[in-house]
Amino acid sequence: MKFIQKAVAGFSKFELALWGGSAGAVLLAFVLFDRTDWLTLTASLIGVTSLIYSARGHAFGQLLMVIFSLIYGVISWRVAYYGEMITYLGMTMPMALAALISWLRHPYAGNHAQVAVNRLSRRELPLLVGLTAAVTVAFYFILAAFDTANLTVSTLSVATSFAAVYLTFRRSPFFALAYAANDVVLLVLWTMAALQDTGCLSVVACFAAFLVNDLYGFFNWLRMLRRQHGFEN
């Protein structure tokens, strides 16, 4: 009990309700559409927990994202979504580890429970766009070579994923918005898979929960930005 109390210390009632509702939706989808794929259930619960910590700017969220990426890579491999597998194992997971280090090295006011929010300069935006474009084009040909299912949507997922992990590493509030865009792409991708296998509906529910959490994360990080940089009245 003390461990749980310590783990959720500082969480608002809304955040606890958001996490509880997200976990509940994932469990309900598992019971209704799956009941057998415990790996997907585990990944989904780790994922929604990761997002609520990340929404608060807590580095523990990035540690959980490393674990989620590893499991999600296996899940994607099973349905021939090689783009997702390569993206999460080869990009999201190592970048989440780099973000974890970055967040731990930049605590706000010495408090590791919240990272110092960074404001990107205008000069960095062309770099982000250029890197995202280069990675997307490169991955298109890689995924095509692997005969990846739903190639166009999978490639779009790479673009949004790269932008998200870059912005996460740079501690920008817009990382959550980029992840929200990625969630929309993944909802389309896994809905396509669910047309062939209804068990994939549990993954659809997972990313629907992710979308809600990422949108909250974006607005909470904007609030953190205003508070940390003295923009509040």
Can you give the pLDDT at residue 233? 45
The interaxial angle of helices 38-55 and 13-33, nearest 10 deg, is 160
Query: Is 18 a domain residue?
Result: yes
Query: Is 114 a domain residue?
Result: no
Query: Is 89 a domain residue?
Result: yes
CB 164 within 8 A of CB 178: yes
Domain hosting residue 146, numbered range:
14-106+121-228
Residue type, 148: T
CA atoms within 13 A on the CB side of 218: 15
Instruction: Give me the number of domains the chain comprises.
Output: 1
Percent pLDDT > 90 in the chain is 65
Q: Which residues contact 124 (CB under 8 A, 6 or more apart)?
A: 170
Query: Is 51 a domain residue?
Result: yes
Query: Is 9 a domain residue?
Result: no
Total-model pTM: 0.90
| Predicted confidence (pLDDT) at residue 166 exceeds the cutoff of 50 | yes
> CA of 204: how far to CAs of 17, 32, 76, 188, in Å?
21, 13, 13, 8
CA distance 102 to 63: 12
Query: Is 38 a domain residue?
Result: yes
Query: Is 163 a domain residue?
Result: yes
| Predicted confidence (pLDDT) at residue 146 exceeds the cutoff of 70 | yes
| Predicted confidence (pLDDT) at residue 15 exceeds the cutoff of 70 | yes
Averaged over 192-207, what is the pLDDT?
Answer: 87
CA distance 35 to 29: 9
Query: Is 113 a domain residue?
Result: no
Can you give the pLDDT at residue 163? 95
CA distance 166 to 221: 16
**What are the pLDDT digits (tens) for 26-83?**
999 999 888 788 998 999 999 999 999 999 999 999 999 999 999 999 988 888 788 7
